Chains A and B, each alone.
Chain A
Amino acid sequence: MAYTKRLNGRKNDETREIEAKVGVIKRADGSSYFKMGNTIAYAAVYGPRNLYPRFLQNPEKGILRCNYNMMPFSSSGERVRPGGSRRSKEISLVTGKALLPVLDLDEYPNSVVDVFIELPQTEAGSRCAGICAASMALADAGLLMKDLIAAVSVGKVDNQLLVDLDYSEEAYEDGDVADIPIAMMPNFEKITLIQMDGEMTKDELRKLIEMAKKACKNIYSIMNKALKEKYEVERE
């Protein structure tokens, strides 16, 4: 049986429902909430602040530290073992690398900007939701940024090219699955993160990147609205 129609009823280039909020954590310098279908990410930004131990300091510019964490009860199956894992360490690293190209930390030598991404509930696409949340929180913290970063996963499920795979699609067993998380600057159409799991042809990849561009622009407009809303509400 081929995968001709998405089980969740979405169109091939349609993302799950997105909800975004800014300023959800009062004590942080910047914070946000990003929900994509059943995946929820909170991000809190602290800093620029003092960085210790001293050998980590960079006298040329500030550094960015990211921390990605899935909460123990967040997964739909087994309990996630709390604390860092090989996987969370890698995702923390790539999240930082995805965000750094837009950030301008030249003004903050010897200091650090800390980003904490917490996921209370996940169902595929958690690193993309985390990146989106982190980029909103960084903007909320008033840091200089060339652009926001939007991220979405695209992929191939049994010869169908899809945007924003959910768990049932990622775990599809009757055919080949390839999953590509992409983060990009929506206004410049530049990719800051691309990873791939699976196999596909060059043409398919090109098509998927185009689909991701469109989805990222849509995500950008949602993030843009959320950031403005924080101040619009206060206008009342």
Chain B
Amino acid sequence: MTAIPDPDTVWAHDLVEIPADRSWWAKHRSTVLVVMCRLVVLAVALIAWQLMSGPVVDRTLVSSPTQVWHQLVTWSADGTLWRNTWITIKEVALGYVFGAVTGAVAGFLITSAALLARVLDPFIMGLYSIPKVALAPLFIVWFGIGLEMKVVLAAATVFFLVFINTAHGVREIDPALLDAARLMGANRRDLLFKVTLPGSMSGVITGLRVSVPYALIGAVIGELVASNQGLGYLINNSASEFDTAGVFAALIVLSVIAAILNQGVTLLSHRSSRWKPLPGNE
């Protein structure tokens, strides 16, 4: 159906859509170029690293791509890599879910009590502003140096980000939408489920999205401060033995995890963003 609609049968304000016939190359050309350039940048960086390591910079300081690769292979073979990665992922996931759920619930609750929100606002902002690393020693006293302390540290950051964004999302709902629903005869429950929840979803999703990397940061910082397992521990331990290849190997695994998390979040937010708030109402 590529025929252009007859102008007499469409209204002036109808949206006329005509399929665009483009070849695969025309559609994806710029994407392919960008990906290729990225591969080139990566290759150049690795080669430069390999060549400079030794002749230019002390190898014990910067290691080299081949050494790092050997380290990864060794750790992978003896299970060190998987065990510690799994621990870190578990901390991140638990901390994220814990912080996100409590943050979203608290965000909805506080906005339904306007006075309470005003009273608590400076306290919440005060707690939010504390660098979460500074809480690590306290959490060690409370929860020990095991998994729990990392989960709590990750959750503490995620909580505030989700909480603040959720509360913001609820406050940003156009009161005219609530009025419109009231005139349809909506009761409090209808208002909550048909206007407030869906209307604040973009805020909640923003909170969920921006807090993902912070869950990882929280968990790794917890591991760096005090632990005997996890990728943060691996970094600390390798560094204390002047094993820079080990440090880089662990860092690479961390950045792969971070990249996967970010990619997942991007995919999710694309799927949920078909609607957006209406363009500026007069």
Binding partners A and B: no
